[in-house]
């Protein structure tokens, strides 16, 4: 740990945000100007020249040796993509084009051609999903509002395993990782999914699905590096055991450096991670298949934040501390298929996560969480009109808090349980034209009473290329450890009477679940073989949202010195509405050039229910952008060259003084030989640096322009 206390840094911070006045000199900026324009101008010129060349060549020349370009995204028609099978909407396979939900799928080819090096960066492709980078290893990700570092209304799963932390009901994105080449697809639902997936599936569901071991046979080695991603690499090998079992093992490592903080310093910190894992898929019989998989990881990152020293001047300092993370999980899944109309799935997993400041500084904290989960699901077709899915689940969690001076949990160790059951039936009202889906989930946790989360969806397909759908659903966000047990010192000062005064946020054992009643309408159409449109609109009504309630001050004798506490208790004193529209267009301009664009608009209105009980919470309206848009291009050129670009626009965050920004990412790929591929990636080409999100525990970092190279060899 080291203290950063430079006079120039303090002067710049007090003067205002440096990105608001780019002509104002600041530390480190002159050095950046000497370095960045030289390679950035070359990279941008290269991208522009390649794009012009690509359009001309795509129009006059056909790519050669198409068979040597397996799985090229441009080889698939729009109809092929619309017929992708998805499972997140109804827990059974159905075509993407007929799913009665606002769902978007990132395929494995999308991942490869996006140039993304992490899962959060890949999620930027999803229309209507707000992905904002806080610093080198932290993101804020949410759909349809309420974005923050720990977005507690967005459920995230990897192969059906929930990865949220019970401490905050959020996600630590720095440890959600795997070999990107092993991901089959990422299904993202914008809107509630509580009927099937339970609490926290309020504003959306992100379901990351990895490939079967059978589909990853042989070897793969990948690696590269650049200005920001200093070095990354991974290796995987898949083989066969006997006649019906397949396996793969993998390992990966990366080192990420040089995020720019708000004072325009090149931070000396880093973010590195080591990870390895395995998967085995066994076809035990004609009816039974089993999957076993697991991961082990560890890493460190440099945390940059204001930390409180609440009992002595100067009361707070800007610190740089090394955070250590580690964890593992083991998972098993058994699937029995009775017929094409009936099957069951039984899944079990155990997950362990650990986080602690490596310096064990008393002003910081950590946690250890163990999660054990068992989930049973049965699908049964009843007659010719009903397709029934039902299931039961049980989860046991034990978390231990490593308390600090400023953040404590009482008790420091807690065991919680979650019991749930659901049933959902898809009823065919008119053959191949009109379907009604109705169901509900009943859930009980240690933090809440029984919660009912019903769901009603209607799908109408008057013609093969037209699908209308509408939905009404209720979802809940159940309380977390923070809502019940946390004590956080927000600030400290000396009162006029000479007594130390602490402003403290406290949990409330009477805090109850936040609720959502959601209304959605959508339409998908493919008016031409090369053109597809997807429109989704929504209106959400929230109640009992989290805010703080003022309490009477009181005196504490311990810990010394004697001090006054000004408390604010967790309280359900906020309600509001959100509404919006999400629009996606996909167009195959030529046989080798695919374009897609999207636009989303979000409106939020939050209101305090009882002003006498507290006034905080309405500012959350300004934590999510009102407008977002993107244009993505995939271009396949002769001689196995690929040129891919994405242009993003994100509106300002009014509550955080984060300005709007436009971001351009580009990738140039070349298949050198049949099994060897090289690529060059450029990110944030239009801006040397910009902030995307602020964090209450740290100064907002600057996401800067970067370039990297990558080689991938398959054998």
More confident residue, 314 or 394: 394
The reported pLDDT for the residue numbered 336 is 97
Residue 10 has pLDDT above 50, yes or no: no
Residue 520 has pLDDT above 80, yes or no: yes
Say how far apart CA 553 and CA 565 lie, in whole Å: 5
* Cis omega (within 30 of 0) for bond into 411: yes
Residue 74 has pLDDT above 60, yes or no: no
pTM, two decimal places: 0.88
**27 in Cβ contact with 7 (< 8 Å):** no
The reported pLDDT for the residue numbered 407 is 87
The reported pLDDT for the residue numbered 80 is 76
Residue 11 has pLDDT above 70, yes or no: no
The reported pLDDT for the residue numbered 13 is 31
The reported pLDDT for the residue numbered 215 is 96
**643 in Cβ contact with 54 (< 8 Å):** yes
More confident residue, 366 or 52: 366
User: Is CATH 2.40.160.10 correct for 2-309+334-714?
Assistant: no
% of the chain residues with pLDDT over 90? 63
Tell me the per-residue pLDDT of 427-436, one tens digit each, with 9 for 90 and over.
Answer: 999 988 999 9
State the average pLDDT for the chain.
85
Bridge partners of 378, per DSSP, are 344, 390
Q: Label residue 31 by pLDDT band (50, 70, 90).
A: very low
The reported pLDDT for the residue numbered 92 is 84
| Residue 109: its H or E element | helix 108-114
The reported pLDDT for the residue numbered 695 is 63
More confident residue, 688 or 5: 688
Tell me the per-residue pLDDT of 404-415, one tens digit each, with 9 for 90 and over.
Answer: 878 899 999 999
Q: How far is CA 451 from the centre of its chain?
A: 25
Bridge partners of 97, per DSSP, are none
Q: How far is CA 459 from the centre of its chain?
A: 28
Residue 507 has pLDDT above 70, yes or no: yes
For the ranges 30-39, 42-51, 496-505, 616-625, the maximum mean pLDDT occurs at: 496-505
More confident residue, 581 or 383: 581
Q: Label residue 307 by pLDDT band (50, 70, 90).
A: low
Say how far apart CA 250 and CA 7 lie, in whole Å: 47
Say how far apart CA 336 and CA 287 lie, in whole Å: 5
Tell me the per-residue pLDDT of 115-142, one tens digit each, with 9 for 90 and over.
Answer: 999 999 999 999 999 999 988 888 999 9
Say how far apart CA 247 and CA 433 lie, in whole Å: 42
Distances (CA, A) of 669 to 115, 236, 254, 474, 589: 9, 21, 21, 45, 20
């Amino acid at each position: 740990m080291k203290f950063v206390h430079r006079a120039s840094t303090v002067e710049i911070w007090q003067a205002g945000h440096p990105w608001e006045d780019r002509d104002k000199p600041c530390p480190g900026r002159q050095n950046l100007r000497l370095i960045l324009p030289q390679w950035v101008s070359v990279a941008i010129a290269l991208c522009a020249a390649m794009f012009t060349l690509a359009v001309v060549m795509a129009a006059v020349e056909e790519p050669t040796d198409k068979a040597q370009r397996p799985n090229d995204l441009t080889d698939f028609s729009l109809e092929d993509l619309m017929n992708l099978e998805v499972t997140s909407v109804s827990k059974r396979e159905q075509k993407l084009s007929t799913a009665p939900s606002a769902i978007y799928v990132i395929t494995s080819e999308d991942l490869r051609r996006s140039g993304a090096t992490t899962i959060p960066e890949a999620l930027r492709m999803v229309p209507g999903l707000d992905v904002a980078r806080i610093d080198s290893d932290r993101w804020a990700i949410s759909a349809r509002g309420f974005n923050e570092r720990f977005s507690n209304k967005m459920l995230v799963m990897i192969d059906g395993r929930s990865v949220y932390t019970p401490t905050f009901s959020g996600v630590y994105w720095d440890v959600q990782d795997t070999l990107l080449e092993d991901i089959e697809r990422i299904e993202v639902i914008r809107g509630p999914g509580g009927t099937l997936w339970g609490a926290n599936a309020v504003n959306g569901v992100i379901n990351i699905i990895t490939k079967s071991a059978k589909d990853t046979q042989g070897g793969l080695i990948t690696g590269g590096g650049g200005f920001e991603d200093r070095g990354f690499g991974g290796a995987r090998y898949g083989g066969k055991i006997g006649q019906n079992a397949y396996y793969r093992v993998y390992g990966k490592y990366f080192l990420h450096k040089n995020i720019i903080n708000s004072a325009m310093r090149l931070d000396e910190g880093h973010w590195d991670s080591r990870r390895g894992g395995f998967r085995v898929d066994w076809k035990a019989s004609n009816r039974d298949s089993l999957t076993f998989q697991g991961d082990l990881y560890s890493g460190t990152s440099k945390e940059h934040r204001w930390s409180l020293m609440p009992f002595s001047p100067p009361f707070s300092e800007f610190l740089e501390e090394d955070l250590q993370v580690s964890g593992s999980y083991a998972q098993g899944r058994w699937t029995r298929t009775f017929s094409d109309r009936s099957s069951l799935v039984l899944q079990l997993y155990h997950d362990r996560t650990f986080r602690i400041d490596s310096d064990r500084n008393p002003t910081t904290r950590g946690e250890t969480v163990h999660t054990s989960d068992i989930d049973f699901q049965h699908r049964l077709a009843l007659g010719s009109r009903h397709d029934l899915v039902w299931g039961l689940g049980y989860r046991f969690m034990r978390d231990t808090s490593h308390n600090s001076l400023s953040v404590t949990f009482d008790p420091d160790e807690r065991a919680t349980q979650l019991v749930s059951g659901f049933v959902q039936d898809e009823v065919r009202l008119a053959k191949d034209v009109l379907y009604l889906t109705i169901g509900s989930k009943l859930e009980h946790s240690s933090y809440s009473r029984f919660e009912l989360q019903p769901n009603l969806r209607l799908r109408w397909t008057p013609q093969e290329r037209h699908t209308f759908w509408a939905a009404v659903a209720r979802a809940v966000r159940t309380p977390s450890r923070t809502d019940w047990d946390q004590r956080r010192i927000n600030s400290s000062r000396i009162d006029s009477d000479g007594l130390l005064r602490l402003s403290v946020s406290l949990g409330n054992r009477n805090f109850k679940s936040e609720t959502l009643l959601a209304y959605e309408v959508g339409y998908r159409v493919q008016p031409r073989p090369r053109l597809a449109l997807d429109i989704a609109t929504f209106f959400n009504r929230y109640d009992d949202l989290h805010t703080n309630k003022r309490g009477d001050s009181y005196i504490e004798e311990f810990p010394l010195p004697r001090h006054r506490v000004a408390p604010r208790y967790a309280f359900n004193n906020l309600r509001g509405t959100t509404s919006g529209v999400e629009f996606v267009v996909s167009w195959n301009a030529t046989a080798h050039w695919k374009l897609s664009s999207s636009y989303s608009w979000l409106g939020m209105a939050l209101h305090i229910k009882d002003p006498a009980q507290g006034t905080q919470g309405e500012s959350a309206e300004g934590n999510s952008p009102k407008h977002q848009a993107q244009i993505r291009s995939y271009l396949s050129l002769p001689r196995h060259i690929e040129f891919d670009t994405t242009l993003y626009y994100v509106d300002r965050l009014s509550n955080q003084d984060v300005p709007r920004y436009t971001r351009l990412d580009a990738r140039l790929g070349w298949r050198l030989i049949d099994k060897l591929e090289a690529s060059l990636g450029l990110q944030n080409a239009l801006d040397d640096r910009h902030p995307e999100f602020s964090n209450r525990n740290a100064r907002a970092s600057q996401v800067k322009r970067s370039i990297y190279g990558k080689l991938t060899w398959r054998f």
